Every structure is written in structure tokens, then in C-alpha cells.
Amino acid sequence: MPAENERRQRLLQLAAGAVFLAIVAVAVLIVVSSGGSGGDTNLEEKAEVNRLLSGIPQKGLVLGDPKAPVELVEFGDLQCPVCKGYSEEILPPIIEGKVKRGQVKIDFRNFTIIGPQSVPAGAAAIAAGEQGRGWNYVELFYRNQGAEDSGYADDAFLKAIAEGAGVKNIARWEKERQKLTPEVEKTTAEARRLSFSGTPSFAVKGPHSNGLEPLGTPGSTGAMEEAIEKAS
């Protein structure tokens, strides 16, 4: 059956070619995705951020049950090293305790004082919040922060943080973040109205607080929890 053998030979040659092409395609995909341009290869502590925030509702830049009786507001600058320290040490016990239990929600508001890159960084966080990944963005940014106002927070860095934070529609995020500078300016003005001058500054609002009460910068988790208790 020479015709059958010929057809068989041709098909198997085609299959071998397809296997070769598939190997090349997968290798190219892996090389491209491991490249540094806008990728998130080098992001630190992504798994830790995911673990910390797992199962906690987020809306915009508010973390926690929307019906939580107490609201803790953080006025922060993503480029601020002290804010990074709060994000890594002071706030996690509150997030894992009172926030997870639905007793308090934390609202991150931009208070941009460090440098010009703080504004697009803050707008990028709000845009991530519009896709339900605002707090992942804020936390991941803090944990990958560079030297203060050294110019590291460029477009590629912001995009890498967005990808690492799990923002699903990057094109939409890119488009929206360009329009959100007024939001950043608005919360910065609000912080100044509350007489804050440094970051992070906190305020609390609850059934027993006098509206949005400025707390300043409580120096420990315990001091923060005490203020939350008082407002509850």
C-alpha cells in the first residue's frame, strides 16, 4: 500500500514539525514572561501579601467588611519608608484580628508628600482598587519600595506592582490611572485639613468617636487597637 505509506510518512513528518514549533513557542513564552520589562519577576513577598489579605473583602481602597462599625483611615504615601514599616509590622495584627472578624475596616487614602512620583503611584493604587486589588497593590508596593524618592517608582515599576497584585485587566488599569490624579489631590487636601503633616497619619471613625477623629501616628499596634476600642 504505497499510497497509505506515503500519506502516513507525510503526516508523521508534519507532526514532528508541529512538535518542534510547539517546543519553540513554549520556550519563547517562558523567556518572554521571565523578562524584566514590566514583569513582576523580582517582586518580594507576593505570597505573604496574598496570605495576609486572603478572604478579606475589598472595595476600592477599603479593606474589610463594609458594614464594620469602626473605620480606621490611613493617610499614607506609597513612597514613605515609615508607612512601609507600619504596613509590615503595626497593621498586620489588626488586619488578621479585628479586620478579619469584621470589627473594623481600614481605608487607605493617599497623602502624597514624598515626591512627584507619589502622585501617579497613588493614582495607580486607586485604579487597582477599581478592580478589587487596591490593598494588594498598596501592600505589595510597600514591600517592594525602593530608596525614598529615588526615581524607582516609574511606569514599569507601577505596572509590575499591578501585575503582581493580580490586577486582571492591565489595559483598563493603565487607562484609568491616568485620570485619577484629582482623587489623589483630594485626599491629600483632606489630610492637610485634618492638620496632618507627616505619613502615615491615622484617623478613626466609629459609634463613639467625634466624627473622623485624628489619631496622628500611633506608635504601636496596641495604641492603634486602643483607639479602635474607644471608637467602637
- By CB under 8 A, residue 4 contacts other proteins: yes
Site for other proteins in 115-154 (CB under 8 A): 132-133, 136
- By CB under 8 A, residue 64 contacts other proteins: no
Q: How far apart are CA 145 and CA 183, in angstroms?
A: 22
Options 26, 35, 101, 219; binder of other proteins; rule CB under 8 A: 26
> Which strands sit side by side in the sheet containing 104-110, from one edge to the other?
58-59, 62-63, 104-110, 70-76, 201-205, 213-216
- By CB under 8 A, residue 29 contacts other proteins: yes
Query: Cα–chain-centroid distance for residue 13?
Result: 50
- By CB under 8 A, residue 42 contacts other proteins: no
> HEC profile for 43-60?
CCCHHHHHHHHCCCCEEC
Reported in sequence order, the residue ranges of 49-177 that DSSP labels E, i.e. its strands, are 58-59, 62-63, 70-76, 104-110
**Residue 123 is placed in which grid cell?**
493614582
| CB 126, min distance to other proteins, A | 18
Give the residue with the Cβ less far from other proteins, 34 or 195.
34
| CB 136, min distance to other proteins, A | 8
| CB 116, min distance to other proteins, A | 27
Could you tell me how many residues of this chain bind other proteins (CB under 8 A)?
A: 39
